[in-house]
Chain A
Amino acid sequence: MNSRPPMWKCDKTIPSDLDAGHASIDELMSALESAGWEGRDVFHIQMAIEEAVVNAIEHGNKRDASKTVHVIYIVDAESAEMTITDQGQGFDHRNVADPTEEERLDQPRGRGVLLIRELMCEVRYNEKGNSVWMRKVRSKDEPEAS
Chain B
Amino acid sequence: MATYRRINVMDNGGVHVVHFVDKKIVDSATIEQLGDELTGLVINEKKNMLLLNFDSVEFMSSAALNKLISLNKKVKDAAGQLKLCCLRPEIGEVFKITRLDRVFDIRKDEASGLSAFKL
Query: A: which residues have CB within 8 A of B?
Result: 18, 22, 40, 43-44, 46-47, 50-51, 54, 99-100, 105-106, 108, 111-112, 114-115, 118-119
Which one of A46, A106, A111 lies within 8 Å of B62 (CB-CB)?
Answer: A111
Residues of B within 8 A of A111 (CB): 62, 65, 98
Known: A115-B62, A118-B97. A18 touches B90 (CB 8 A): no
Secondary structure call for the B interface: helix
Number of chain B residues whose Cβ lies closer than 8 Å to a Cβ of chain A: 21
Asked if B118 is at the interface (CB within 8 A of a chain A CB), the reply is no
Q: Determine whether B27 belongs to the interface, using a CB cutoff of 8 Å to chain A.
A: yes
Contact, CB under 8 Å: B62 / A112: yes
Which B residues contact A (CB, under 8 angstroms)?
26-28, 59, 61-63, 65-66, 69, 72-73, 89-90, 94, 97-100, 102-103
Q: State in angstroms the CA–CA spacing of A46 and B94 once bound together.
A: 12
**CB-based contact B69/A54 at 8 Å:** no
* Complex interface: chain B residues within 8 A of A51 (CB): 61-62
Choice from A46, A47, A50, A105 contacting B102 with Cβ under 8 Å? A105
Inter-subunit contact A50/B66 (CB<8 Å): no
Q: A100-B98, A115-B98 are in contact. List 20 more A-B contacts (CB 8 A).
A: A18-B28, A22-B26, A40-B90, A43-B59, A43-B90, A51-B62, A54-B61, A54-B63, A105-B99, A105-B100, A105-B103, A106-B69, A106-B72, A106-B103, A108-B66, A111-B65, A111-B98, A114-B97, A114-B98, A115-B62
